[in-house]
Structure 1
Amino acid sequence: MKNINPTKTFAWQQLKNHFIDIKNIQMKDFFNIDKERFSNYSLFFEDEIFLDFSKNRINYETLRLLFMLARECYLSNAIQSMFLGDKINKTENRSVLHTALRNQLNNNIVVDNINIMAMIKEELKKIKKFSNSIINGDWKGYTGKSISDVVNIGIGGSHLGPYMVTESLKYYKNHLNIHYVSNIDGTEVVEVLKRINLETTIFLINSKSFSTIETISNADYLKNWCFLRTKCKEYFTRHFFALCENITAALNFGIHDKNIFKFWKWVGGRYSLWSASGLSIVLSIGFKNFESLLYGSYMMDQHFLHQELSHNIPVVLALISIWYTNFFNIETEAIFPYDTYMHAFPEYLQQSYMESNGKSIDRNGKLVTWKTSPIIWGHSGTNSQHSFFQLLHQGTMFVPCDFIIPAISHNSVNDHHEKLLSNFLAQTQSLAFGNNIDINSKTIFNSIISNNKISYKYCPGNKPTNSIMLKKITPYSLGALVALYEHKIFVQGIILNIFSFDQWGVELGKLVANSIFNDFFKKNINNSYDSSTEGLVRIYKKWSNI
């Protein structure tokens, strides 16, 4: 994998000049110049996902230069390196092989002289057998009753990915109730305990390292809480399971070796939903649907791996994002799924994007002079339209947006879906064109400027969006969509010359938190704190009588 400063490439310099030429062109002019713009700036993924990127402030020259930038940064070589298992996570000396978890070929992928495909298939067999026994009622709790509830205890990728998928695929849900405990705030675990029956609940301790303080603290509490109420040694064996890479830590915690489901060092936490970390997904929708999820992501992998850059959906979306972030100097991008089932998708992508590419040190060990990850945010439509869309239309911020919607709804209620879709289309049109032009020869507002004053109704438009339409939200299409965004993030990291697969900034906060936690129970406070932190610790100790 090459370590290239993107700003030193020929393409970057040409893009800077091109930006001067294009920055003031209005969206309407792009469409007037190219009558076939919609078909020229759109792509299909099979018959499942359609991307319309015509409502962007780009033209053929923009794309030509962006593709040149990708080639100058040896993007295709980097893609091959990831799929082959090269140790592209240099700071941790690890391969990055979440793609292997969904690999459908019978080929070998070797990491440290081990064929990992054999391990993956063996673990999938174990997951299938266990999930079927839970779903079919064959696995019994300590009193002989079948399982009705599942509690996933995890945080970060061990929570956000599984939670997002189980919510997005709720239409496919079986009879099991799935709960999630992530926060170390005691309120969350207490509220979950109010909703479950210990006789019919299993707990999944979901932590790659099996040392994450939030997860292990919650697991410890639940372990003790359950034992105090059941007074049964067998309870732990029948009801507690570990999803982890650190087998020794799970065994030391007391998990029975047959209750441990493995994933591996080359699986990043935020890419782990495809592994045993996604056991709550399997228990929610069944193994067959989980296989379909894996197959959809695999097919997007193949698209990403083999499709030429100009027709490669993750590459196109990544390059457009780099264009806005580094040339228009935008600070933020928004994601709007127009489907209630997908309400957790923006939050899931926040971690995927910002933990991956929220970096300021390049792969050469130097501070970057360019922008890396934008701030990612969003919410489901049409709720968003009645809260913060005002800022998108008339505010001073420039926010590129992805709009996501299924063409076919799982729940046809009157004409609700047609109204939802009309709002989806209206928002992207209004953001692009505003109300100061004729659209199809129909004037929306006849007078925007009168008496030298701009009407308060004025919406300038020229705000870019991508429209992503899924045929229907299925395990297959969701798998493909999630993989699409994973690869988009990867492309941005490669071109921006940063390491996308570590998160050292997260580790700093953990170290400091441990130090502060220990000081809560000492008479003297650590003198190395700043006055603000020290003052807050003192106030807490006074108010809580520690």
Structure 2
Amino acid sequence: MDISSLSALSKAAKSRAIISLFSTDENRAEHYSTGNAGLYLDFSKQNINSTELNQLFELAEKSSLAEKINAQFSGDIINNTEQRAVLHTVLRAPDEKKQAILGAQADEVIATEQHMADIVNDISSGSLLSASGEKFTDIIAIGIGGSYYGIKVALSALNTFHTTGLNAHVIANVDGAAVEEKLAKLNVATTLVVVISKTFTTQETLLNALAVKNWMLKHSSDADIIEKQWFAVSTNIAKATEFGVLEKNILPMWDWVGGRFSLWSAVGLPLALVIGNENFNKLKQGAYHMDQHFQNAPFEQNMPVLMALLGIWNRNGLQYSSLAILPYDHSLRALPGYLQQTDMESNGKSVSNTGEKLAWQTAPTVFGQEGTNGQHAFMQLMHQSDDIIPTDFIVCLKGASNLPEHHQVLVANCFAQSEALMRGKTLAEVETELQAAGLTPSEISTLAPHKTMKGNTPSNTLLLEEMTPENLGALLALYEHKIFVQGVIWQVNSFDQWGVELGKQLGNSILSAIKGGEMSMLSASSQNLIKRFNTASN
């Protein structure tokens, strides 16, 4: 069994109705579901039977998945193009595991975690004050990519756990209007800044940091405002101190923590400042519980492995090119964007980890929106176009509001959409409905084709008991591990992102051209656009 064989294996599934699988196994819902770490996965609406699923388990075995899971958690160099270990998981492990895996470096990691906790305690208690002697009310987190998405998704997901009284504002996009919009709401005297950049050279982050710095200096009479109100998370202490951040206010990063997996590190400082140390630790504990499940559960009950294999079945067997992430929870509205980066930046590649051109497709195009808003947008296409888009539905059994009927309707819509995408509606069913509604044969003939729906869309449904730091941690870790498993089987390096670099390089060339530099190396189209921009700007 290999990936190239999946298309032939899926031949029967392509002509099979998913709903028929429930007829051949009356306990399918029980047989095709599992749970752990506060999460429950129902994958019974996937277009797969036990024979096909067993073939996928064989594929995982042939890919040495168990050995590669162990290699990651043990600190082996699995990011081969950058010669790095991948150990974000160790940051949520107990100290004794840190010491066993990291050796002497564990002391630095543990000390950093304590330093971070002390900062949170000092600021939330009021023992660390602003340059003007006031208690902080707001935090600006400045970052981009992995230094942004994780913080953003956790801040919104855990909004009911914002216990310290601090308000967080995230600046990422290099758009001056976005920066000014945030700053207009803030008071310089009570605003803390955390700038996050591993190298302290990222263009967007530094430009935004400079704008915030200038805003502070312009509106404050305290000459030491940057020293007293700024923290940094970076490996480049020299650049950060040159910018004005005190060395004691710089928390380190490590090259074995990739940006899109860095929430568990000091990158999570803005989040911890808002939810407090106890809740931040619970977030990591939930992720650790999922880590343990991933490492120890047999593949047949292993949630990340199952989701990964089902995704490969849909991508390479059934040839579906997209994945919809539909959280029916307002607090998880940022999750689709977070998973766009985590999934597509990790596995959106066409070359193997040994440098060979792959003979199969890899990461799907990930998109999504919170329910029920998506039902009034792209779900029309999902129901009635010819494209079949596998879907992950995510919902909490217990709502966070004091409006229980709202939550019942929300959950009902979530379950209904997964059912409707699977069932569809045939022409005969539509004609029967219209006839019962009293339409004439002529009217039925005209209208019926427009009301048919193809169905047979596969989906997972993920249930969280409720939104808590532990459950969010488990959910994020679940998707991290799912993506890792898919990378192993697709034979790509899930932990580099060379495709991001070309845009950065050309961005610098075009910025130089905008400022009067050479542009002859650029296409006529880009030269024309630059000229039009400069004409409008002058």
- Give the TM-score of the pair, scaled to structure 1: 0.93
Is residue 2:300 matched to residue 1:307?
Answer: no
Letter in structure 2 aligned against 1:469? L
State the secondary structure of the residue aligned to 2:78: coil
Letter in structure 1 aligned against 2:31? N
The unaligned stretches of length 5 or more in structure 1 are 1-9
Aligned residue among 125, 135, 140 for 2:114? 125
Q: CA deviation at 1:386?
A: 1.4
Q: CA deviation at 1:366?
A: 1.4
State the secondary structure of the residue aligned to 1:43: strand
Q: CA deviation at 1:108?
A: 4.5
Question: Which residue is 2:481 aligned to?
Answer: 487
1:236-275 matches, within 5 Å, as 236-275=226-265
In 2: Cα distance, 1:527 partner to 1:467 partner:
53
State the secondary structure of the residue aligned to 1:107: helix
Letter in structure 2 aligned against 1:154? G
Aligned residue among 41, 56, 60 for 1:66? 56
Is the alpha carbon distance of 1:12 and 1:194 closer, same or farther for their aligned partners in structure 2, counting shifts above 3 Å? closer
Q: Which piece of structure 1 moves more, 369-378 or 217-226?
A: 217-226
State the secondary structure of the residue aligned to 2:263: helix
Question: Which residue is 2:158 aligned to?
Answer: 169
Aligned residue among 27, 33, 36 for 2:24? 33
CA contact (8 A) 1:336 1:379 kept: yes
In 2: Cα distance, 1:22 partner to 1:94 partner:
40
State the secondary structure of the residue aligned to 2:342: helix
Question: Which residue is 1:5 aligned to?
Answer: none
Is residue 2:136 matched to residue 1:143?
Answer: no
Question: Which residue is 2:185 aligned to?
Answer: 195
1:71-470 matches, within 5 Å, as 71-104=61-94, 106-109=96-99, 114-174=103-163, 175-436=165-426, 455-470=449-464
Q: CA deviation at 1:109?
A: 5.0
The Cα offsets for residues 449-470 of structure 1, whole Å up to 9 and x where unpaired, read as: 9769953211221111100000
Letter in structure 1 aligned against 2:527? E
Q: CA deviation at 1:434?
A: 1.6
In 2: Cα distance, 1:232 partner to 1:84 partner:
48
In 2: Cα distance, 1:374 partner to 1:29 partner:
26
Letter in structure 2 aligned against 1:542? T
Is the alpha carbon distance of 1:373 and 1:447 closer, same or farther for their aligned partners in structure 2, counting shifts above 3 Å? farther
CA contact (8 A) 1:206 1:244 kept: yes
CA contact (8 A) 1:431 1:461 kept: yes
CA contact (8 A) 1:330 1:398 kept: yes
The unaligned stretches of length 5 or more in structure 2 are none
In 2: Cα distance, 1:110 partner to 1:94 partner:
18
Q: CA deviation at 1:445?
A: 7.3
Q: CA deviation at 1:231?
A: 3.6
In 2: Cα distance, 1:490 partner to 1:456 partner:
42
Q: CA deviation at 1:226?
A: 1.3
In 2: Cα distance, 1:45 partner to 1:22 partner:
29
In 2: Cα distance, 1:122 partner to 1:33 partner:
57
Q: CA deviation at 1:20?
A: 1.5
State the secondary structure of the residue aligned to 1:224: helix
Q: Which piece of structure 1 moves more, 12-21 or 150-159?
A: 12-21
Aligned residue among 19, 26, 32 for 2:10? 19
Q: CA deviation at 1:418?
A: 0.9
In 2: Cα distance, 1:457 partner to 1:279 partner:
51
Q: CA deviation at 1:438?
A: 11
The Cα offsets for residues 449-505 of structure 1, whole Å up to 9 and x where unpaired, read as: 976995321122111110000000100000000000000000011100011101111
The Cα offsets for residues 322-342 of structure 1, whole Å up to 9 and x where unpaired, read as: 111112221110001111111
Q: CA deviation at 1:232?
A: 2.5
Question: Which residue is 1:530 aligned to?
Answer: 523
CA contact (8 A) 2:168 2:270 kept: yes
In 2: Cα distance, 1:227 partner to 1:16 partner:
61
Letter in structure 2 aligned against 1:121? I
CA contact (8 A) 2:427 2:448 kept: no
CA contact (8 A) 1:42 1:50 kept: yes
CA contact (8 A) 1:85 1:110 kept: no
State the secondary structure of the residue aligned to 1:286: helix
In 2: Cα distance, 1:444 partner to 1:264 partner:
62
Letter in structure 2 aligned against 1:336? L
Question: Which residue is 1:517 aligned to?
Answer: 511
In 1: Cα distance, 2:127 partner to 2:16 partner:
65
CA contact (8 A) 2:195 2:231 kept: yes
Is the alpha carbon distance of 1:265 and 1:110 closer, same or farther for their aligned partners in structure 2, counting shifts above 3 Å? farther
Q: Percent identity?
A: 38
State the secondary structure of the residue aligned to 1:456: helix
Question: Which residue is 1:541 aligned to?
Answer: 534
State the secondary structure of the residue aligned to 1:415: helix
Question: Which residue is 1:501 aligned to?
Answer: 495
In 1: Cα distance, 2:146 partner to 2:536 partner:
35
Letter in structure 1 aligned against 2:202? T
CA contact (8 A) 1:100 1:117 kept: no
CA contact (8 A) 2:324 2:368 kept: yes
Is the alpha carbon distance of 1:536 and 1:35 closer, same or farther for their aligned partners in structure 2, counting shifts above 3 Å? same
State the secondary structure of the residue aligned to 1:408: coil
The Cα offsets for residues 41-80 of structure 1, whole Å up to 9 and x where unpaired, read as: 000114x211000001000011101111111111111100
Q: Which piece of structure 1 moves more, 257-266 or 13-22?
A: 13-22
Is the alpha carbon distance of 1:444 and 1:177 closer, same or farther for their aligned partners in structure 2, counting shifts above 3 Å? farther
Is the alpha carbon distance of 1:300 and 1:315 closer, same or farther for their aligned partners in structure 2, counting shifts above 3 Å? same
Is the alpha carbon distance of 1:438 and 1:21 closer, same or farther for their aligned partners in structure 2, counting shifts above 3 Å? same
Q: CA deviation at 1:110?
A: 6.5
